[in-house]
Amino acid sequence: MTADEANQLDARDPLAFARERFRLPPGVIYLDGNSLGVLPKAAPAALAETAEGQLQRSFRTIFSACSAPPRDIEVPNAYGLPVAVPF
């Protein structure tokens, strides 16, 4: 196969648009079969959003589960809950 033939195949590749979705340096051809793949450009933001959402839900869950808190946390729970957990 010649370089021209390969370029023609690349030009007709129906998945070529997907390359822009990944963090690949220009000119790099990714062929590593032993990895999870190239990092998608959207992954860092999605990870941050997921982590932040889980953090907020865990605060709500932890504080909501305290229907009868131990004596030593009644005061912080009574006064800190409205500040710590925005609903």
pTM above 0.75, yes or no: no
The domain limits of the chain are 3-84
Cα dihedral value 29, 26, 41, 13, nearest 10: -50
Q: Write out the chain's pLDDT in tens, 87 residues.
A: 999 999 999 999 999 898 889 888 888 888 887 778 888 999 999 988 888 887 777 666 655 655 555 555 555 555 555 555 554
Rounded CA gap, 47 and 51, in Å?
6
pLDDT at res. 8: 95
pLDDT at res. 68: 56
pLDDT at res. 83: 53
Q: 44, 39, 87, 41: which is closest to 63 by C-alpha?
A: 87
pLDDT at res. 70: 52
pLDDT at res. 35: 75
